[in-house]
Structure 1
């Protein structure tokens, strides 16, 4: 009986960690990419538009951060499709 609770707790812990990483971490990485695009830019008087283009570093940083987001999404799709074909990627 104790072994069942131990396995249930282990599964719960894995779901919690994945939820925190994907539920909060990935949107935070995307938000940092958006913020990187605005680094070094000046706003117009109306506060809604920029008067200068993004800096090279901001553009490069946002590209890397957006690529991380896209890679995580594609990896998730791969896991779903692979499990549909019966492939075991993680665990037994």
Structure 2
């Protein structure tokens, strides 16, 4: 079982958007599911979405941990360790 060594980067943050994927909204695109960065609160779309903004955000900022923004879901994912945390 893989463990995550990045939980120290998780912050108590508020989402930067409640309307949807911040990046998709800016370019007029669509998304499938939403994720929130737990380092800065950036809301972005999942890898099933056309633009994969959550992964792009993590890669561009080195923010490792996201959580699902979908109703009824409470999981978190670490991009670096590639595991649910």
With normalisation by structure 2, the TM-score equals 0.26
Structure 1 or 2: larger helix share? Answer: 1
Structure 1 or 2: larger strand share? Answer: 2
With normalisation by structure 1, the TM-score equals 0.24
Larger Rg: 1
Taking CA–CA contacts closer than 8 Å with sequence separation of 6 or more, which of the two structures ends up with the larger relative contact order? Answer: 2
